[in-house]
Structure 1
Amino acid sequence: MSQSRTKRAESESTAILSALGSKYSAEILCAAGTPKSAQALSDDIEIPIATCYRRIQDLVEAGLLTCEGRQLSEEGRRTNIYRRTLDEIEIDFSDDQPSFSRKRRTEAKNRLRDQLED
């Protein structure tokens, strides 16, 4: 593996572990199986909105959550809508650096989930 690829993998590992290690991150990922605003996520898991926004930012930067677009809130403001990018993640600590195995969500699965929710 090249040195730049190794550095990138280490950076990705650090971002993922940091994001997952934060309080409420796992709950946000579980709640974000369908598209939701930060306010809806905050309400669903009963955490302060400022904390929710910080965790969302960490999860987006780690590639575990994605902004799917924007919609109007009940107050008429445009808000970002988030959904998790994976259904499972496995972390292996047996080597010098952690490695990850992910089960990514497919667009087809997202569409089917959206149809079932409506």
Structure 2
Amino acid sequence: MTAQSSRPPAANARGEDRPPVEALFGALEDSDCRAILRVVGTEPLTAQEIADACEIPISTVYRKVDTLTDAGLLEPRTRVRDDGKHPQQYTAGIEEIHVDLGDNGVAVDCEGEGV
């Protein structure tokens, strides 16, 4: 996924608009968002599992999950269980972020499953 501040967002591999560079950097600037990315980088987790692992209130987790999802950094998935309850779980949407400060502005290239 490549996003540049000097032109409109392009589409990612799924045909969805890419988030603006500002949304990406805004999410990465937040310490709670970074903590969430660290724990979901190893395995998909529910919001409650994220809250427990990061010691963050569940209400904050939901806000940060929205921020990370909007920035393209987190991918929501449904966990199918035998008991009929299918909780939402989250996994990292990217593996690497590359930033280029070129003549045409800031270009961000993200690599991973969600891009």
Output the TM-score relative to the length of structure 2. 0.71
Alpha-carbon spacing, 1:88–1:11, altered in 2? closer, same or farther (3 Å): closer
Task: Indicate conservation of the 8 Å contact 2:19/2:72, yes or no.
Answer: no
4+ residue segments displaced more than 6 Å: none
The answer (yes or no) to whether the contact 2:39–2:50 under 8 Å persists in 1 is yes
Show the counterpart of 2:67: 58
CA 1:71–1:53: 2 relative to 1, 3 Å: farther
CA contact (8 A) 1:71 1:80 kept: no
Residue 100 of structure 2, aligned match among 87, 92, 104:
92
Matched residue count = 99
Structure 1 vs Structure 2 CA RMSD = 2.6
Q: CA shift at 1:71, angstroms?
A: 4.6
The structure with the larger Rg is: 1
Q: Which has the higher contact order (CA 8 A, sep 6+)?
A: 2
- Find out whether 1:43 has 2:44 as its counterpart: no
Q: Which has the larger share of helix?
A: 1
Long gaps (5+) in structure 1: 107-118
